[in-house]
């Protein structure tokens, strides 16, 4: 699973590169695509569970500019008792060359939407999350 993004003018800031806040939107777009692809959203709504990002650590290696073709990839890295960690990359695809523009680690908790409290990751939720573990060959070692 990967999300493809072409950099448009509304992604660019006064310094003529993608504003750092836009990368958070790129990462979130891929997570939504990913959850939709695996029908996680419908399952979570049915089970009254919400997924909330509680920590995001982003590295910026290079600036993306107008016209760049980007690919965003995501994989689950680690599961805790109440949280999960995913790893994401934004990759620029330029003339057959691929290079990491940015990467991020995102920590999530899962919330019972009725009680509005974090819940433990039970076997069923863990099984759903494990389907997000990717062997995606698009990831680049950084």
Kindly report, residue by residue over 39-94, the tens digit of the pLDDT.
899 999 999 999 999 999 999 999 999 999 999 999 888 999 999 999 999 999 88
**Confidence tier at 136 by pLDDT (50, 70, 90):** low
Q: Mean pLDDT over residues 15-38, rounded?
A: 92
| Dihedral sign for Cα atoms in the order 117, 119, 124, 127 | positive
Count of alpha carbons within 13 angstroms of residue 20, beta-carbon side: 9
Q: What is the pLDDT of residue 35?
A: 87
Catalytic residue check, 13: yes
pTM score, whole prediction: 0.89
Distance in angstroms (rounded) separating the CA atoms of residues 106 and 131: 17
More confident residue, 74 or 135: 74
Domain boundaries, the chain: 2-136
Q: What is the pLDDT of residue 98?
A: 92
Domain 2-136 in CATH: superfamily? Hotdog Thioesterase (3.10.129.10)
């Amino acid at each position: 699973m990967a999300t493809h993004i072409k950099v448009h003018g509304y992604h660019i800031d006064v310094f003529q590169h993608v504003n750092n806040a836009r990368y958070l939107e790129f990462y979130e777009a891929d997570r939504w695509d990913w959850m939709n692809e695996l029908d996680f959203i419908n399952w979570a709504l049915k089970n009254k569970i919400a997924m909330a990002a509680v920590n995001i650590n982003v590295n910026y290696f290079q600036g993306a500019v107008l016209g760049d073709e980007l690919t965003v990839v995501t994989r689950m890295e680690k599961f805790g008792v109440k949280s999960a960690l995913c790893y994401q990359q934004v990759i620029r695809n330029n003339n057959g060359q691929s290079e990491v523009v940015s990467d991020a680690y995102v920590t999530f908790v899962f919330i019972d939407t009725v009680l509005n409290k974090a819940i433990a990751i039970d076997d069923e939720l863990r099984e759903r999350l494990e389907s997000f573990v990717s062997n995606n060959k698009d990831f680049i070692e950084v």
